[in-house]
Amino acid sequence: MLLRHRTTLQHLLVANPIIMASKHFLPTLKPSFNNKFDKINVFCNIPINSNVKKIGSLSIKPSSGSGSDSLSFSTHASIPRPVSDVYLEKPDDQLVDSPNLKLLKLKLEEIGIACGSCKPGQTYGLLCPMCKGGDSGEKKLSLFIAEDGNEAAWSCFRAKCGWKGITRGAADAKSSYKMMSKVTRVKKVKGLIERDLNLEPLCPDLVEYFSERMISEETLRRNSVMQRRYGNQIVIAFTYRRKGDLISCKYRDLAKKFWQESDTEKILYGLDDIEGASDVIIVEGEMDKLAMEEAGFRNCVSVPDGAPPCVSAKGVPSQEEDVKYQYLWNCKEYLEKASRIILATDGDEPGKALAEELARRLGRERCWRVTWPTKNEEENFKDANEVLMFMGPAVLREVIESAELYPIKGLFNFRDYFGEIDAYYHQKFLAELGVSTGWKAMDDLYNVVPGELTIVTGVPNSGKSEWIDALLVNLNESVGWKFALCSMENRVREHARKLLEKRMKKPFFDVRYGKSVERMTVEDLEVGKKWLSDTFHLIRCENDCLPSINWVLNLAKAAVLRHGVNGLVIDPYNELDHQRPPNQTETEYVSQMLTSIKRFAQHHSCHVWFVAHPKQLQQWTGKPPNLYDISGSAHFINKCDNGIVVHRNRDPEEGAMDQVQICVRKVRNKVSGTIGDAILRYDRVTGQYMDVK
């Protein structure tokens, strides 16, 4: 196995950073940048003649005034990067491709993988046809060909790609882009020998470079931050260690370009610092890890591969398939002992995505997150090192100590609602106290609150639907509410007549019930039609099928979002399709149904009136029924917010025949009312309900 390196050389350059003015910057801590790194002298132990030497296209000249062995470089060549290991065959190790292998290679070439002289039983590092190796052209595609030459599996180990798949030569007609099998996913991990990397202590110029970023020489020494020469280029070397042993090495030039030793085990940077720690801080980069130490936190590690562009839409894969975050699995024994993990990733969108991916794998219940302080009116500081540079170690420490619990979907704290609670206290949402029904007799008993469920019942022909219609008319006149109507016992024209009579206060017809009162005019009708169109939206099943409760709620949701309705009427329960699973009782079904209705009401701040008939009453005495008499289940009274019985007097000896008793039998929220009875007078001609004078 031979490790090949490109011989291109580049002088180490760094641009002068632009520092934005901010009221939050501390003058005493503001770093001073200079042009020291515009030209770095690299000292070599090789004799240099006065003549110009050429290495490739790079000119090397003696630097004036620097001595005979001082060199200066100027080039725009690309940064050298280690190339993935490849298997090389000996000249006498030639094999004749089998028919299956030839077919396999043809299929790989169709996909875009040029495998050339690849042989069975080997793993090759190739250029990925999907990502093209990124800007640096890294050969990160690992291709494995099975011993029989009939199957190939590949995976790109470049963090931002991850393309993988398998294919066969003879049996399959097409390639498969599914997950590779665990058998064929073979990736050899090489060990590093420190002396072979030719690492050196940091030169004074690099020590000063870190110093300008508020990172001390002591911190650099403790974390074994070193340098390496690639020809005449010096780069920073971050050594990844476990129990003191070198596991991997990551390089960085001063232009913030990174690369790593290929085919090494991925672990967290600074792993030994969190051994046995109950609190662990995870940051996005090595510089942030060093910055944390300057603020007094050694129990900090950095991820090796940076942040993803966004959160994956898929679930967390298995350990074998979780290539991008394999370092978490490799460090599992260190992380599983931590009871509190602070995610201090960058404040940009990739940094937030990294925090979410880490929380998904480490467990949100033990994760905390930081909020970086504001830089100016439009932006926050990006990461730990930036906070250290411009605001100092004390502020960075305060940020970490102020970390908040990582949000868990469905789990909240009252402080998340303090704004809403304050608004409720100051009565900014008057409807939350309940909207008056329009009848003084009911003001102390029942007021309509958005997001609640009211169950209405009563014996047949007691006026349940008529009373609800009258209530809707009152609410529209007083506060302008709009409504969705799922009234399955009424034909549209009949329901329109009832609503118009209550709104216009005139009978629709002048025959029978209305012959003694002036009928509404054509002009009244046109005005009423516009009012109907603006106020009500109908939910109707036009075919022979009965609507289900989910069908009704889905249409009601559309009415809320599209038309801004404030109330929903479902009238009645027994006209819905109640097909339930064979193993579910009616009680269980009713409970589930009412839960769905309440969730809809609460989520959309929409009041729901649900009409349910009582069961057949044996030996009925003419008294109002009880809510427990509703056919189906006691859950009707158990789960509703308000329970109302509408009862019309049928006995002349008991009182006037136009009297209607509104029995409020349940009020969950004492702010909106209480249990009691109200007497209203019903006008049969116009369908109005009025207070008894």
Report helix, strand and coil shares of the chain as percent, to nearest 5.
30, 20, 50
Q: What is the per-residue pLDDT across 72-97, written as a single tens digit (0 to 9) for each? A: 333 333 333 433 333 333 333 444 67
Paired with 248 in beta bridges are: 240
CB atoms within 10 A of CB 254: 17
DSSP 215-276: --HHHHHHTTEEEEEETTEEEEEEEEEETTEEEEEEEE-TT--EEE-TT-----BTGGGGTT
d(CA 9, CA 200): 19
Q: Which two tokens stand for residue 417?
A: 């609602």
Q: Does position 24 have pLDDT exceeding 70, yes or no?
A: no
The continuous run of DSSP H or E covering 692 comes out as: none
Q: Locate tokens 């033990």: which residue? A: 366
- For residue 657, give the H/E element and its range: none
Cβ neighbour number for residue 41 with a 10 Å cutoff: 14
Residues with Cβ < 8 Å from 448, sequence gap 6 or more?
Answer: 434, 435, 437, 454, 471, 475, 567, 607, 672
Give the pLDDT mean for 22-34: 36
Q: What is the DSSP string of 29-59?
A: G-----SGGGS--EE-SS---SSPEEETTEE
Token couple for 139: 């050969």
Tokens standing for 378?
């439009």
DSSP assignment letter at 174: S
Positive or negative: CA dihedral 558, 562, 566, 568: negative
* Residue 279 CB-density burial (10 A; 0-12 exposed, 13-18 middle, 19+ buried): middle
Beta strands in 22-136 (DSSP E): 42-43, 53-55, 58-62, 70-72, 123-126
Contact 192, 167 (CB under 8 A): no
- How would you classify the pairing of strands 225-230 and 300-302? unpaired
Which stretch of 164-168, 188-192, 302-306, 575-579 has the lowest confidence by average pLDDT? 188-192
More confidently predicted of 171 and 373: 373
- Our separate counts of H helices and E strands in the chain read 16, 27
Model pLDDT, residue 128? 87
Q: Which amino acid is residue 356, in one-letter code?
A: E
Distance CA(59)–CA(55), nearest Å, equals 7
Cβ atoms < 10 Å from Cβ of 355: 23
Are the C-beta atoms of residues 448 and 664 closer than 8 Å to each other?
no
How far apart CA 166 and CA 146 sit, in angstroms, is 11
* Stronger pLDDT, 691 or 413, i.e. the higher one: 691
Q: Is 211 in contact with 193 (CB distance < 8 Å)?
A: no
For residue 556, count CB atoms less than 10 angstroms from its CB and return exposed for 0-12, middle for 13-18, buried for 19 or more.
Answer: buried
- pLDDT above 90: residue 510: no
% of the chain surpassing 90 pLDDT: 48
Better-predicted residue by pLDDT, 140 or 292: 292
Chain-wide mean pLDDT for the chain? 81
Any bridge partners for residue 662, and if so which? Answer: 646, 678
Chain mean position to CA 653: 66
Q: How far apart are CA 529 and CA 493, in angstroms?
A: 11
The span from the CA of 372 to the CA of 380, in Å, is 6
Q: How far apart are CA 145 and CA 186, in angstroms?
A: 10
- How many residues would you count in the chain? 693
Distance of CA 251 to the CA centre of its chain: 33
CB 237 within 8 Å of CB 203:
no
- Any idea which residue has 């094999």 for tokens? 95
Taking only the tens place, the pLDDT of each residue in 103-148 is 888 888 888 888 888 888 888 888 888 878 777 778 888 888 888 8
- Asked whether residue 227 carries a pLDDT value surpassing 70, the answer given is yes
Chain position carrying tokens 């007691």 = 462
Q: What is the pLDDT of residue 370?
A: 95
pLDDT digits (tens, 9 = 90+) for 553-568: 999 999 999 999 999 9
Q: Which of 158-162, 235-239, 462-466, 678-682 has the lowest mean pLDDT?
A: 158-162
Distance between CA atoms of residues 465 and 444, nearest Å: 22
Distances (CA, A) of 329 to 155, 313, 319, 404: 19, 21, 7, 25
Closest CA to 77 of 61, 55, 46, 48: 55
d(CA 668, CA 596): 18
Residue 642 and residue 653 in contact, taking contact as beta carbons nearer than 8 Å: no
Q: Which residues contact 461 (CB under 8 A, 6 or more apart)?
A: 648
Give the per-residue pLDDT at 383: 95
Collapsed DSSP state (helix, strand, coil) of residue 443: coil
Q: Is residue 175 classed exposed, middle or buried when 0-12, 13-18 and 19+ CB atoms within 10 A define those classes?
A: middle
Tell me the residue ranges of DSSP E strands in 208-244: 225-230, 233-242
* Euclidean distance between CA atoms 361 and 349, whole angstroms: 19
For 636-692, write each residue's pLDDT tens digit. 888 999 999 999 887 777 778 889 999 999 999 999 999 999 999 999 899 999 998
Q: Are 68 and 46 in contact (CB under 8 A)?
A: no
- CA–centroid distance for 629 within its chain: 46
Buried b (16+ CB within 10 A) or exposed e, 402-420: ebeebeeeeeeeeeeeeee
What six digits make up the tokens of 104? 């396999």
CB 539 within 8 A of CB 495: no
Report in angstroms the alpha-carbon separations of 138 from 157, 159, 161, 258. Answer: 10, 11, 12, 12
